[in-house]
Amino acid sequence: MSIQTLEQFISAQQMQFPQAKGDFTRLLQAISLAAKIVHREVNKAGLADILGKQGETNVQGEEQQKLDVFADNHFMDALRKVGECCYLASEEHEEGKDLTQQKQYAVGKYMVYFDPLDGSSNIDSNVSVGTIFSIYRRVSTADGMEDRDFEQSGRSQVAAGYVIYGSSTMLVYSTGKGVNGFTLDPSIGEFCLSHPQLQIPEDGRTYSVNESNYNQFSQAIKNYLQFCKEIDPKTKRPYSSRYIGSLVADFHRNMIQGGLFLYPDTYSYPNGKLRLMYECNPLAFIAEQAGGRASTGTMPILDVMPTELHQRVPLIIGSKNMVELVEQYIREFSKAEPTFA
C-alpha cells in the first residue's frame, strides 16, 4: 500500500487550483513542523525537566504548565517565520499579535488562532493532550488590522484542525472539503494519511461531561443526562460515560466512535467556559465537515459572532442526532426556568 504524506496530500490539493500560490500550503507545513517538535517533547516529558507548573498564570487565570509555554513558543515562532500570517492569537496571551506592524518577517494574509496545548494539566498523568488551530483570511487591505478582520464568525474559517498527542500523534484538519487525519510515523518523521474523509457516526452510545458540575447544570441538561442513564434496550441505553478532561481527546474519540461532548453553561460560568475562537470554532468546523453538529444549545457554534478574543460559549458537540436531542431538551425545558445570565 502506498503512503501519502501530509505534504504530498497538500500539494495534490493545491494542484486542483491553478491560481494557488502555495501560501496556504506553507502555512500548514509550519503548523505540522511545530506539531512534530511538540510531539517530541511530549514523548520525552518523563525524561526531561519539562513537567510541572511554570509558576505563572495565563490570561484565563489558569496555572501555566512548562509544556504550555514550550508549545506556545514553538507555534508562535513557526507561524511568525513562515511569512504567511498577519495576526496570531493564543490562549496563553492576553492580546493577539498584529504582525502587520513587525519588520523582522514577511507578512501574509492569514489570521491564526490556536490553543497550543489543550489539556496540559493532565500531562503529568500521561493523559492525551492536543493542539487546536483555526485559520481565517484577513478581509481588510489597509496597512494595519481593522475591526472587520476580527468580526468574522466561525463559518468564515478557511481551515481548522487539531493535533492529538497520544498513543500515536495525529493531525486532523479540514479546508471545508471534508476532514482528513494524518498519523505521525516517527521512523520517517512525516504525517501520513491514515484516516481519509473522516465521518462522525450520526449516533453514539457515549457522552462526555464533567458530572461534578451536575448541581450547577440547568434542568434541561440534568434531564438529558438522566435520559442517557435510563435503561432502554431499543435505544441501547444506558449510554457509557467517558470523560477524559482533555477536550481534544474526548472530541477525537467521539469523531472515531460516535458520541457527545458537553460543556454547557453553569451557575459559575453562565456564558460557558470553553473559548470560542481557538477551541469551539475550530472543533465545530471539523464536526460539521465530518457530518456532526456543534451547538451552544440554542444556536450553531459557527453562527456565533465574536465580540472579544477570549470569549467563552457553551459547547455541545459530536454526533448529529445526539446534539439535536440535547437542543430539543433545552428548547422544551428552558421555557419553564430562568436562565443563568
What residues are designated binding site for substrate?
118-121, 210, 243, 273
DSSP letters along 33-87, please?
HHHHHHHHHHHTTTTTTT-SEEEEE-TTSPEEEHHHHHHHHHHHHHHHHHS-EEE
Distance CA 94, CA 187 (A): 38
Nearest to 249 by CA among 172, 193, 313: 172
The edge-to-edge listing of strands for the beta sheet with 159-165 is 97-98, 85-90, 110-118, 129-137, 159-165, 169-174, 180-185, 190-195
Strand pairing report for 53-57 and 240-241: unpaired
Which helix (H) or strand (E) is 206 found in, with range? strand 206-208
Residue positions forming the annotated binding site for Mg(2+):
91, 115, 117-118, 279
> What residues are paired with 163 via a beta bridge?
131, 171
Q: Which residues are annotated as a binding site?
A: 91, 115, 117-121, 210, 243, 273, 279
Locus of grid cell 485559520: 135
